[in-house]
Amino acid sequence: MEQDIQTWVKLAAYSGAGLSIGLGAIGAAIGEGYTAAQANSAVSRNPALAGDVFKSMLVGQAIAESASIFSLVVAMILLFSNIPATSFITVAAVFAAGLSMGFGAIGSGVGAGFPAGAACIGMVRQPAMSAKLTTNMLIGSAVCQTPSIFALVISFILIFSDFGSHPLWPTWGAMLGAGLAAGLSAIGSGIGGGVVAGASSEGIARQPTSVSSVTNIMLLGQAIAQTPAILGLLVAFILIFKEFGATDTIAPAIALLSSGLCMGIGGIGPGIGEGIASSGGVKWIARNEKEIGTLTRTMLVGMAVAESTAIYSMVISLVLIFVV
Amino acid sequence: MTTTAPVRELQKNYGTKAMALAIGISLVFLILGHKAVCRGLVMGALFSTINFVLMAQTLHLKIKHERSRASLSALGNILFRYTFMAIPIFLAIKFPRFDLVATIAGLFMVPSVILADHISRTFLFSWRK
């Protein structure tokens, strides 16, 4: 029996590792490709600045790659670590760890490409602002990585915690649900944060005097766009750390799995939507800084409304955990 | 290519800073008696720096080829770099001489230095201008 668990844990770890780096590479590759495409556009507009654009592209790509390195780390740990197989729950936990990190890296990789691309274009438009544009781009890209860090945290908890004392039914559903909640919800927030940061770099290039207002509003917008990922993290924590009573039926396990799916999928749209709402605010504040108060208010109200669907998802998620 | 000199300068700048920072932090851990942390951090930072150099040094190979060959070259480059970055993690998992957490931290040394460098220049040393 002990051998059986070990074999299944290995199978789950190998599949989880494949999913982690396979899915995780998608976002970084898209983000890096987008940056390179924008860099080409920038160089064609002003070939004399090719060196600066090239440097900016490289730096932006180095940051955009971080999320996929997280995926690589999780994949390597799953492949080569000696994961203690105390129960069949470990099988679900290690597979969920791969799912969490794989999905969680997609949004951050894609998102980080937007500010890097916008900075390359902005640099040829406003060469004097190169340093400030690069800093803005780097801050924006770094904040984009936060949702993937949430996914990494959940992956590590799933890999390194001992769930041996928990009942197999329904805990396996909770483990898979936790991975899906943290991973999928990070997609929207990563992309949304990137859309805001891209608009910020573009705004600074159009109106260099607005740099401090635009950077502040970008950070505010990115912070709010992270909310669906935070809700996903919260649901994942509840699923991992709440002790569920043993059952003989499949329904409670599926309810817990659905709870994670509900929060994960439900967080994708709001994250992107909030990013779009915030990018509008940032873009127009750069062009009309005098109306910063009205524009910020409109942006925040728009983001709050876009956020509501993530809250509905969380409510249903909590109902599935605590009521069903 | 007009881009080669500034990019090489950039790589030298960030590569040197990343390695210097890693060695500096490692010395502190060495003094405190955590040799595995010291080894892991230096190894991670070394691979992070080489990865950053490889990112740029192989770019011209993609640009010179026609589209299909350039795509294949880019894919090969990514596969190579990811395999390369997996080596220190593999070593840290298999050999307790290297601390895993420190190795992972070391792999993020170049992005951390890039970020810290720009933020410090913008916010901390802006009074010099």
- In tens, the pLDDT along B13-53 reads 889 999 999 999 999 999 999 999 999 999 999 999 999 88
| A270 phi/psi in degrees, rounded to 5 | -55, -40
Q: B100 contacts in A (CB within 8 Å)?
A: 77
Q: B94 contacts in A (CB within 8 Å)?
A: 80
Closest partner CB to B56 (pick from A58, A73, A80): A58
- What is the rounded distance in angstroms from the CA atom of residue A59 to the CA atom of residue A315? 41
Closest partner CB to B52 (pick from A21, A29, A62): A62
**C-alpha distance from residue B75 to each of A41, A58, A193, B111 (Å):** 22, 17, 27, 22
Helix-strand-coil percent breakdown of chain B, rounded to 5?
85, 0, 15
- What is the rounded distance in angstroms from the CA atom of residue A140 to the CA atom of residue A145? 9
The arithmetic mean of pLDDT across residues A176-195, rounded, is 97
Chain B's closest residue to A59, CA to CA, is B114
A78-89 tens-digit pLDDT? 999 988 888 899
Which residues make Cβ contacts (< 8 Å) with residue B2, sequence separation at least 6? Answer: A50, A51
Cα-trace Rg, chain B: 17
Residues in chain A, total: 324
More confident residue, A84 or A285: A285
Of the pLDDT bands very low, low, confident and very high (cuts 50, 70, 90), residue A75 is very high
Chain B's closest residue to A36, CA to CA, is B59
- pLDDT at position A158 is 95
Which residues make Cβ contacts (< 8 Å) with residue B96, sequence separation at least 6? Answer: B36
More confident residue, A258 or A216: A258
Tokens of B73: 């070259």
The DSSP-derived string for A163-175 is -TTS-HHHHHHHH
Of the pLDDT bands very low, low, confident and very high (cuts 50, 70, 90), residue B61 is low
A169 conformational bin, left if phi > 0, alpha if psi -120 to 50, beta if neither: beta
- What is the rounded distance in angstroms from the CA atom of residue B90 to the CA atom of residue A83? 15
Is pLDDT at B72 greater than 80 in this prediction?
Answer: no
Q: B44 and B88 in contact (C-beta within 8 Å)?
A: yes
Helix (H) or strand (E) segment spanning residue B45 = helix B35-57
The DSSP-derived string for A67-112 is HHHHHHHHHHHHHHS-----STHHHHHHHHHHHHHHHHHHHHHHHH
Tokens of B19: 């390695």
Tokens of A68: 């996929």
Determine the distance from the C-alpha atom of residue B101 to the mean position of all C-alpha atoms in its chain, rounded to a whole number: 16
- pLDDT at position A153 is 94
Helices (H), chain A: 2-45, 50-64, 66-80, 89-125, 130-144, 146-160, 168-206, 211-225, 227-241, 251-287, 292-322
More confident residue, A227 or B119: A227
Is pLDDT at B78 greater than 50 in this prediction?
Answer: yes
* Interface with B, mutate which of A21, A49, A135 (most B CBs under 10 A): A135
Min Cα distance B28 → chain A (Å) is: 25
- What is the percentage of chain A residues whose pLDDT exceeds 90? 76
- What is the percentage of chain B residues whose pLDDT exceeds 70? 79
The arithmetic mean of pLDDT across residues A93-121, rounded, is 96
* Cβ separation B55–A134 shorter than 8 A: no
Of the pLDDT bands very low, low, confident and very high (cuts 50, 70, 90), residue A102 is very high
Contact residues, chain B to chain A, C-beta under 8 Å: 2-3, 5-7, 10, 52, 55-56, 78, 82, 85-86, 89-90, 93-94, 100, 104, 107-108, 110-111, 114-115, 118-119, 121-122
Is pLDDT at A311 greater than 80 in this prediction?
Answer: yes
Q: A213 and A297 in contact (C-beta within 8 Å)?
A: no
Q: A139 contacts in B (CB within 8 Å)?
A: 115, 119
- pLDDT at position B10 is 82
Map residue A243 onto helix, strand or coil. Answer: coil
Neighbours of A111 (CB within 10 A): 38
Is pLDDT at B129 greater than 60 in this prediction?
Answer: no
- What is the rounded distance in angstroms from the CA atom of residue A36 to the CA atom of residue A120? 9
Min Cα distance B26 → chain A (Å) is: 21
Is pLDDT at B1 greater than 50 in this prediction?
Answer: no
Most confident of A119-123, A131-135, A210-214: A119-123
Of the pLDDT bands very low, low, confident and very high (cuts 50, 70, 90), residue A114 is very high
Q: What is the mean pLDDT of chain B?
A: 83
Tell me how many degrees the CA angle A141-A224-A31 measures, rounded to the nearest 5.
25
* Cβ separation A58–B7 shorter than 8 A: yes
Tokens of B94: 């298999």
Q: A317 and A259 in contact (C-beta within 8 Å)?
A: yes
**Burial of A119 (C-beta count, 10 Å sphere; 0-12/13-18/19+):** buried
| Residue-range domain boundaries for chain A | 2-322
Closest partner CB to A76 (pick from B10, B93, B119): B93
Q: A79 and A22 in contact (C-beta within 8 Å)?
A: no
- pLDDT at position B115 is 84
Chain B's closest residue to A56, CA to CA, is B7
Domain A2-322 fold is Four Helix Bundle (Hemerythrin (Met), subunit A) (1.20.120)
Tokens of B67: 């589209």
- pLDDT at position B64 is 56
ipTM above 0.85, yes or no: no
- pLDDT at position B62 is 55
Q: A268 and A208 in contact (C-beta within 8 Å)?
A: no
Q: Give the closest residue to A260 by CA, choosing from A307, A188, A309, A320.
A: A320
A29-53 tens-digit pLDDT? 899 889 989 999 999 999 999 888 9
Q: A224 and A293 in contact (C-beta within 8 Å)?
A: no
Does the bond joining A170 to the residue before it have cis omega, within 30 degrees of 0? yes
